[in-house]
Amino acid sequence: MNTLDATHDPSLTSWVESAQSDGTDFPIQNLPFGVFRRGRGDAEVGVAIGSDVLALTPLVGAGWLGQDAQVHHAVAQGTLNALLELSEAQTRDLRRRISALLSASNGALRDAASQRASCIVPQSDVEMLMPVTVGDYTDFYASVHHATNVGSMFRPDNPLLPNYKFIPVGYHGRASSLVVGGTPVRRPWGQQKADDADAPTFAPCRLFDYEVEVGFYVRGDNDLGSSVNIAEAEGRIFGLSLVNDWSARDLQKWEYQPLGPFLAKSFATSVAPWVVTLDALAPFRVSAFERPAGDPQPLPHLDHAVNRNTGAVDMQVEAWLLTPQMRAAKHEPVRLSRGHFRDMYWTIAQMLTHHASNGCNMRAGDLLASGTVSGPEKGNRGCLLELTWRGSEPVQLPTGEERRFLIDGDELILKGYCESKSHRRIGFGECRGVVVEALPA
Amino acid sequence: MNTLDATHDPSLTSWVESAQSDGTDFPIQNLPFGVFRRGRGDAEVGVAIGSDVLALTPLVGAGWLGQDAQVHHAVAQGTLNALLELSEAQTRDLRRRISALLSASNGALRDAASQRASCIVPQSDVEMLMPVTVGDYTDFYASVHHATNVGSMFRPDNPLLPNYKFIPVGYHGRASSLVVGGTPVRRPWGQQKADDADAPTFAPCRLFDYEVEVGFYVRGDNDLGSSVNIAEAEGRIFGLSLVNDWSARDLQKWEYQPLGPFLAKSFATSVAPWVVTLDALAPFRVSAFERPAGDPQPLPHLDHAVNRNTGAVDMQVEAWLLTPQMRAAKHEPVRLSRGHFRDMYWTIAQMLTHHASNGCNMRAGDLLASGTVSGPEKGNRGCLLELTWRGSEPVQLPTGEERRFLIDGDELILKGYCESKSHRRIGFGECRGVVVEALPA
């Protein structure tokens, strides 16, 4: 259970001035982890603070991160994987030490000019890298609104299948094609068949879509053959991050039965560079989705029981679009949708517990994603398939353009944040990707 | 293209006597790779020869494996992954050097008593380990007989979907739960719903099944956004191995729509310890599956063109069962089925090319599996679901027992081999697994 402590105190301020800005994603209450490099240098573990990155490795020698050799080892790697092998207590202690070191009242690093210069780097001067080497990537389907909308297009007679309200439906995704936000994404080729055609053709995808999702990274390991009790599931989740599950809808429609989506997804999946810890999200925990009257209660092994009141995360996720024409006209990106992660039918703990309920070994660094975050209103729909209702209701853009699906040069930008009156805003940064043209024939 | 050379000469003999036995899986013409350890020692790369293992690392120092530092590095690892990063020419050269060293006419190692003692170890004295650390595991569905049989049980009105004859249908599997043959496999818990029940229950799987498959390991890497031309696909395949895709049929039936199998498979998948190289299989290449009149030809990017005559592998795969009662009565295992890998609707090259056709990056060490190898006759059916027609026609065993699905203590043994009148038998060893009881509630 994540309880509030001094790191969450909304009155806590940092000597990093940009962290005081109201609109920042990264106040001292956040402290998300990521991996970056300076120039052509090695990958380093860092923490976002305001518009800067705090590099962790240089802090070890001065003893500022404590004396735990496992922690020292973990922050000196080129990915977060070793950090994900630490215990919840170890990463919470690390968070507290970083919070203390960055707090306005602490002069240790603030006043050590040369050390400060080696540790604090503007985010604009670094390149963000894949935060985690993902062993297995699993994608869920946890928004009942998304499942109902998509189901009604792919299976009009049978939109929501009978298992949906009992099982957090998910499928294995492709780990090799995960890329960090900012990586251009190439339009895939694939088989597609028109409804009135006798046979498919092999051609570049025409119905290129994104999906706004929330991913979460697994902490620690359970042995093959063992499961994860729902009460312990959150202890096995390190943090959350934005995920864009790019989708080739024409490929998907033709291929997905009977074994599920495959090449419609595996050409690329973008993950945001910053991972926000569950610890940082403690002030934004809210009741799990309240099931409508008549819906079944979760089976006992998936029932939150003690923490149903804090099972969900009150997080907003947004999709923004910047087209080539908007870029040329110096338009700002336009927001396409805003969804609420608390609207998901299944919680992150339920997804993880379900995944391991057959004895599947979940490993530190595995990535689970929620599926498209959509809500009941049109403005909540987290992909173009739903927003434009399969292209029939195009999105109107300020340049006079319209979009049914993405064209080459379009940049899709995911944003996410938690806000409340009583706490500082916790942001997830951005997860960006530009669509680039398909390879020639 | 794999052409015949001196390593395939059926008259070639080895000074390792057990390699001369007619029934051996591992004559000098085979030389499959695996990973083993002696006692509690480190993992070592080895090659099977007769009933022995040839350890490769000790050969490096004497110069017997040539002077290529990349090869020296690769054979000194604890997995085959670095070997899978070598070029086809490098591993072919390595194969030729090993063949020469083991041939009866070569005294170099044969007569060097102390080196021979350090290199040649009885297989019965070593423990076989996971041969490859698999990045991504993909499971196909390439037997039209299996797809039709299973489809007719799960979707009686619509057994073979319209995409089947155009797409090598496949889905992402779980990499973390791959285990080496010999590892006991725990019966999973999971949600299952009786046809006449209103709601599912969560209980140990009752319909525990195996699937006989042929896996193949990817050599080398292609960048994300690039594809693999069908003419180059076999150059990207290092070798083949037996795979048992354990399946919980009750979980599968309830969960698999709309996103495919998930927990019904991810509790364990067994891979055989020995990987037989495509080079070793050169004498057993035969025409790709001849499509019945009326079936569509593959789309051009999946059409073998030049190598349609050698696209398939003439390999037999068998499932054998040893029950606790048989074990107690000292019965030998009984064969349940024998399938022919050449009967698959899609070839290994077509599966790999399809997989990368959307730009998906295939990495050295990725594992692709064929799906259940079934044929047109009942005796060809590679899983109990088909063999017993969903339990309605139980298998009769010599003890008087019968099996609809596997019970605790049952051991399933996969075997595979290629045989012809003109070449030595090439075997795949075994892939074994004992079913162990589910965890208590």
Among A84, A144, A88, A92, which residue's Cα sits nearest to residue A288? A144
Across residues B199-217, what is the average pLDDT? 98
Same-domain status, B280 and B357: yes
Question: Residue A49: inside a domain, yes or no?
Answer: yes
pLDDT at A92 exceeding the cut of 70: yes
pLDDT at B1 exceeding the cut of 80: no
What's the pLDDT at B111?
97
Pairwise CA distance, residues B289 & B312, whole Å: 7
Pairwise CA distance, residues A265 & A274, whole Å: 22
Across residues A340-345, what is the average pLDDT? 97
B284 contact partners, CB below 8 Å, separation of at least 6: B313, B314, B315, B418, B420, B423, B426
Closest chain B residue by Cα to residue A437: B225
Among A175, A202, A176, which residue's Cα sits nearest to residue A188? A202
Among B141, B414, B172, B406, which residue's Cα sits nearest to residue B272? B414
E strand segments, A181-298: 185-186, 189-192, 201-204, 208-209, 212-218, 237-244, 247-248, 269-271, 276-277, 285-286
Q: How confident is the model at residue A19 (pLDDT cuts 50, 70, 90)?
A: very high
CATH number for A432: 3.90.850.10
pLDDT at A303 exceeding the cut of 60: yes
pLDDT at B101 exceeding the cut of 60: yes
Q: What are phi and psi of B48, to 5 degrees?
A: -80, 135
Q: How far is A217 from chain B (nearest CA, A)?
A: 15
Q: How confident is the model at residue B304 (pLDDT cuts 50, 70, 90)?
A: confident
Pairwise CA distance, residues A412 & A323, whole Å: 9
Preferred mutation among B259, B270, B361 to probe A, highest tally of A CBs within 10 A: B259
Cβ of A358 within 8 Å of Cβ of B190? The answer is: yes
What one-character DSSP code corresponds to residue A103?
A: B
Q: Based on the structure, what is the number of domains in chain A?
A: 2
Same-domain status, B429 and B329: yes
Pairwise CA distance, residues A184 & A409, whole Å: 9
Last residue of a domain, one of B92, B112, B129: B129
Q: Which of B8, B146, B354, B355 is catalytic?
A: B146
Pairwise CA distance, residues B181 & B271, whole Å: 5
What's the pLDDT at B306?
65
Among A51, A178, A146, which residue's Cα sits nearest to residue A433? A178
What's the pLDDT at A306?
66
Same-domain status, A98 and A204: no
Closest partner residue to A136 among B151, B176, B296, by Cβ? Answer: B176
Last residue of a domain, one of B129, B154, B179: B129
Same-domain status, A115 and A224: no
Same-domain status, A34 and A91: yes
pLDDT at B2 exceeding the cut of 80: no
What's the pLDDT at A2?
64
Q: DSSP characters for A363-421?
A: -TT-EEE------SSGGG--SHHHHTTTTTSPEE-TTS-EESS--TT-EEEEEEEE--S
Question: Residue B1: inside a domain, yes or no?
Answer: no
Percent of chain A with pLDDT over 90: 95
Residues of A in contact with B360 (CB under 8 A): 174, 176-177, 263, 266-267
Q: CA separation (Å) from A159 to A134, A148, A403, B156?
A: 32, 6, 25, 20
Same-domain status, B371 and B326: yes
Question: Residue A1: inside a domain, yes or no?
Answer: no
Mean pLDDT of chain A: 96
Pairwise CA distance, residues B249 & B372, whole Å: 14
Within B113-267, where are the H helices? 113-119, 144-154, 249-255
Q: How far is A84 from chain B (nearest CA, A)?
A: 16
Across residues A71-97, what is the average pLDDT? 98
pLDDT at A106 exceeding the cut of 90: yes
Q: How far is A231 from chain B (nearest CA, A)?
A: 16
Pairwise CA distance, residues A32 & A30, whole Å: 6
Across residues A128-147, what is the average pLDDT? 97
Across residues B37-52, what is the average pLDDT? 98
Same-domain status, A274 and A203: yes
Question: Residue A182: inside a domain, yes or no?
Answer: yes
Same-domain status, B229 and B246: yes
What one-character DSSP code corresponds to residue A16?
A: S
What's the pLDDT at B154?
79
Q: For the stretch B218-246, what's the b/e string if a residue is b when 16 or more beta carbons lie within 10 angstroms of its beta carbon?
A: bbbbbebbebbebeebbbbbbbbbbbbbb
Same-domain status, B56 and B102: yes
Chain A / chain B CB contacts < 8 angstroms: 203
What's the pLDDT at B441?
87
pLDDT at A41 exceeding the cut of 60: yes
Across residues B121-128, what is the average pLDDT? 98
Last residue of a domain, one of A129, A161, A176: A129
Question: Residue A441: inside a domain, yes or no?
Answer: no
Structure tokens at B191: 């949600």
Across residues A35-45, what is the average pLDDT? 98
CATH number for A50: 2.30.30.230
SS3 for B428?
Answer: strand
Across residues B164-182, what is the average pLDDT? 98
Percent of chain A with pLDDT over 70: 99
Within A50-132, where are the H helices? 57-61, 69-75, 81-84, 88-102, 107-110, 113-119
Same-domain status, B78 and B201: no
pLDDT at A139 exceeding the cut of 80: yes
Structure tokens at A99: 């919070």
Among A99, A75, A178, A183, which residue's Cα sits nearest to residue A430? A183
Domain carrying residue B56:
6-129
For the beta carbon of residue A42, count every other beta carbon within 10 angstroms: 8
Same-domain status, B242 and B359: yes
Same-domain status, A335 and A211: yes
